[in-house]
Structure 1
């Protein structure tokens, strides 16, 4: 479609056709006192712009700009209309599945209070659905040390979208995660977007609780990719919510540094002492605290040196005498 330029000659020719509908094209130049080639060029532009349209008698008549626009854009508007119709048809077609989706989801929520989901992709699909449909709150308990780049990459957009909708997000890491650069960066991103982020020395299990109504737990805490349990039983949800809240209340802000004055052990050191007193081996302590094997050995060695203990039993006795352990 060629753009129309409103030059003075074209305007003059257009006005003359409006004022003198009976005028013959051959008399335009004489009437305006202009060279014939200039008025012919003006007429050509007016015809391209549909401001001059043919008459049944073989002449030309000036029409309003609105009529010209209708003529010029009729084909384009028809194309747009067809395109919108196709879009509407797709929406209607997909919308027909909404009832089935809502009904099936409702039946799943009511009948299957405990649902087992196997495989990484299936687990992610469930988490994605719950994250996108929750309305009030999400509580996340994340044991272990630093999270993998893949886990952070999957969680970040979901968390930000959830926070954008005004959903309250609480995330609870272990202290060991504060030494992992990518995890601390992720924590800062979601905290800046409105999430609350804290850390604790020990966490019992990975856990996600949506709207205090649906929880996702790993089938095997040591192999979270193997499968998950989706829980909707109200009694179990109340227990899990209480468990999360009890750990949350004892946790500290993720960015905060632990303070231990006068030789008192830190929260993490107390947790390690309790595990030592329970007879746990170094590898078990490392797994439960989220520390590396080297960090665990170094921490245990430091505690035994501070207690002046030659073995773990002696360390437990002296920690109890000092009042560090009940």
Structure 2
């Protein structure tokens, strides 16, 4: 392979002095260094420097008598570049062979996908890296539509960063995206900026009051649901059963029709007055106002902490509150704590 230093010399260091010495060596091959220096009007050190450079480039070769003989530039280039061309050829052959082996797996990949779908209409995927890989695969193969329920108000920076490139790629390919957030997302600046970006690219985004669970529907063929909504990143289920997919699509459409546009309806959505909570929901609200944690409320009511978390999230959404203190103030304002 060519010495990288020689490559740098070719590009930067063949100056007028070096060219002059090369020409003199062509016409005076038997001159000693001192004689050549005198002809060129240079010092002996300058001549020797030029000759060393020309030698490294293959333009001069030493003679048995201790002098130098000039070599045709085309021959020098051939000798200098031949090893590199050989390396390039070997790399191209290796690349072609690797590409052929990988392309040969395409049939196995498609067969495996079809077998996966045929064997089970529900596929469980656990682990954050596996989930991301599945979502990436669904996004790459999506060709018509993506409908998504996005609960929880404002989304994390990490979630938005992961979603943005996938959404923009889908929109660029002409896929229709409809995303349904909760009203609280309007007040979350990172989420609002993300929505502004994707809507400018063609996405449709609306908001609603309460969303029970995250859901994604790809091409009306695959539904992605959380295996355990109470634990972030625990796992997802890929559902391909036509009846379930059809039900999920109808549920999304109903929620979509009752929702409000993310932009253009004011800072807060207009809604009818909320009815005061009753039963277990009221018990949770009273204990929230008393300062009890979700674990303490769950223990007193004899229910799971996850169930309490869902009720708390629903109450905070209905009260348009971002924290428990704000929820307590709003509940008192509406008379929910004394009803």
TM-score normalised to structure 1 length: 0.69
User: Which stretch of the first structure deviates more once superposed, 116-125 or 136-145?
Assistant: 116-125
**2:72 matches 1:63:** yes
- Calculate the aligned-residue CA RMSD, in Å: 4.1
User: Which stretch of the first structure deviates more once superposed, 41-50 or 132-141?
Assistant: 41-50
Distance 1:120 1:62 in 2: 64
1:214 and 1:230 in contact (8 A); partners too: yes
Deviations 1:124-173 (A, max 9, x none): 33223212332332211112333344433433343344344443322110
1:55 and 1:61 in contact (8 A); partners too: no
Q: CA deviation at 1:289?
A: 6.0
Deviations 1:180-238 (A, max 9, x none): 34433443444455433221123343210112221101234444644322112333323
User: Which stretch of the first structure deviates more once superposed, 66-75 or 51-60?
Assistant: 51-60
Distance 2:83 2:267 in 1: 75
Question: Which residue pairs with 2:313 in the alignment?
Answer: 287
Distance 1:118 1:27, change over 3 A: closer
User: 1:226-245 counterparts in 2 under 5 A?
Assistant: 226-245=234-253
1:137 and 1:212 in contact (8 A); partners too: yes
1:116 and 1:230 in contact (8 A); partners too: yes
User: 1:87-98 counterparts in 2 under 5 A?
Assistant: 87-98=95-106
Distance 1:27 1:182, change over 3 A: closer
Q: 1:123 aligns with which of 131, 137, 140?
A: 131
**2:275 matches 1:266:** no
Question: Which residue pairs with 1:26 in the alignment?
Answer: 31
User: 1:124-139 counterparts in 2 under 5 A?
Assistant: 124-139=132-147
Q: CA deviation at 1:174?
A: 0.9
**2:257 matches 1:249:** yes
Q: CA deviation at 1:72?
A: 1.8
Deviations 1:220-268 (A, max 9, x none): 44446443221123333233223222222332222445589xxxx932x
Distance 1:212 1:55, change over 3 A: farther
Distance 1:83 1:204 in 2: 55
Question: Which residue pairs with 1:168 in the alignment?
Answer: 176
Question: Which residue pairs with 2:224 in the alignment?
Answer: 216
User: Which stretch of the first structure deviates more once superposed, 142-151 or 283-292?
Assistant: 283-292
Q: CA deviation at 1:7?
A: 4.5
Question: Which residue pairs with 2:155 in the alignment?
Answer: 147
Distance 2:39 2:338 in 1: 118
Question: Which residue pairs with 1:101 in the alignment?
Answer: 109
The number of residues matched between the two structures is: 296
Distance 2:239 2:314 in 1: 24
User: Which stretch of the first structure deviates more once superposed, 94-103 or 206-215?
Assistant: 94-103
Q: 1:47 aligns with which of 34, 55, 64?
A: 55
**Ranges in structure 1 where 5+ consecutive residues have no aligned partner:** 312-326
Distance 1:125 1:290, change over 3 A: farther
Secondary structure, in 3 states, of the residue corresponding to 2:58? coil
Question: Which residue pairs with 1:199 in the alignment?
Answer: 207
TM-score normalised to structure 2 length: 0.67
Distance 1:61 1:152, change over 3 A: closer
User: Which stretch of the first structure deviates more once superposed, 144-153 or 209-218?
Assistant: 144-153
1:202 and 1:289 in contact (8 A); partners too: no
Question: Which residue pairs with 1:321 in the alignment?
Answer: none
2:60 and 2:68 in contact (8 A); partners too: no
Distance 1:217 1:6, change over 3 A: closer
Distance 1:68 1:288, change over 3 A: same
Distance 1:115 1:40, change over 3 A: closer
**2:81 matches 1:73:** yes
